[in-house]
Chains A and B, each alone.
Chain A
Amino acid sequence: EVQLVESGGGLVQPGRSLKLSCLASGFTFSNYGMNWIRQAPGKGLEWVASISSSSSYIYYADTVKGRFTISRDNAKNTLYLQMTSLRSEDTALYYCARRATPPGYYFDYWGQGVMVTVSS
C-alpha cells in the first residue's frame, strides 16, 4: 500500500524557516517524480514544487521561487521542502503527492498533509 507521511509543520514567525519531510513507503520511491502541493485554509489547491525521480528536473511556482527548495533522498525514501523567508501567505496545509506514471503529469497518491502557520 502506497503511503506518504508528511511531518515538520508548525507555527513559525514571518521571515523564519521550516523544513518539511515526506516519508514514502509501499512503492519504489526512486522511480517516481514527487511534488509539494498546498491548500490555504478554506481555499483551493496550489502546486508548489516538483522534482524528478533522480533530481535532474526541479520546478517551482513563481510564488515560492527563490525561497523554497525541494529535494529528495532516495536512500531514505524521503522528500523534503526547505522553506525560508516565510510569509503569512504561505500559511497552508502542505501535501506531498506522487506523480502518476508518465506521460501525463497527474498526482495519483497524496499524503494526509502537514499544517504550516506563519504568524507573529
Chain B
Amino acid sequence: DIQMTQSPASLSASLEEIVTITCQASQDIGNWLAWYQQKPGKSPQLLIYDATSLADGVPSRFSGSRSGTQYSLKISRLQVEDIGSYYCQQAHSNPRTFGGGTKLELK
C-alpha cells in the first residue's frame, strides 16, 4: 500500500498568513494527488486534484504543488473560513489512502 505522510499534524496561524501543508508519498504517484478540506462538523470537500488543479468554486488563494514525491498545499492569505482539517489522498492505486490530516487553527 502507498503511505501518505502528512505534516504538520496541527498548525496555528494568523489571519492573512501564508500556510503550507505537505504530504510525502511512499512511492512515485505522479500527479495523482488530491487535497480535501473538512470544516468542523462537516463533510470533506475536494479542494485540489491532479496535484495542482483547483476544484470548482475553490478560492484562488489555495494552490497545490509537487516536487518529486512531496506535495504541498498552500493557502496564500489565511481567512477565518479556512479553519478546519486538511487531508491529502493518493489516487494512483488501490487502496486509496489518505494522509493523517492537518488541523489548522487560528492563532
Contacts and interface: CB of A to CB of B under 8 A. Distances in A.
Interface of A: 35, 44-47, 50, 59, 61-62, 95, 100, 104-108, 110-113
A-B interface, 3 closest residue pairs, ranked by CB to CB distance from nearest: A110-B43, A105-B91, A47-B96
B19 interface: no
A35 B32 CA distance: 18
B87 interface: yes
B101 interface: yes
Describe B's contact surface by its main secondary structure. Answer: loop
Interface of B: 32, 34, 36, 43-46, 49-50, 55, 87, 89, 91, 94-101
A13 to B, nearest CB: 28
B45 A59 contact: no
A62 B99 CA distance: 17
Contacts of B34: 104, 106-107
B21 to A, nearest CB: 13
A110 B100 contact: no
B101 A45 contact: yes
Contact of B98 (A45, A105, A110): A45
Q: Identify the interface centre among B94, B99, B100, B101: most chain A CB within 10 Å of its CB.
A: B94
A108 B46 contact: yes
Contacts of A35: 96
Contacts of B89: 45, 106-107
Given A107-B36, A107-B46, 5 more contacts: A45-B89, A59-B94, A100-B49, A110-B45, A113-B43
A15 B36 CA distance: 33
Nearest to A112: B43
Given A44-B98, A47-B96, A59-B94, A104 B43 contact: no
Nearest to A65: B95
Nearest to A63: B95
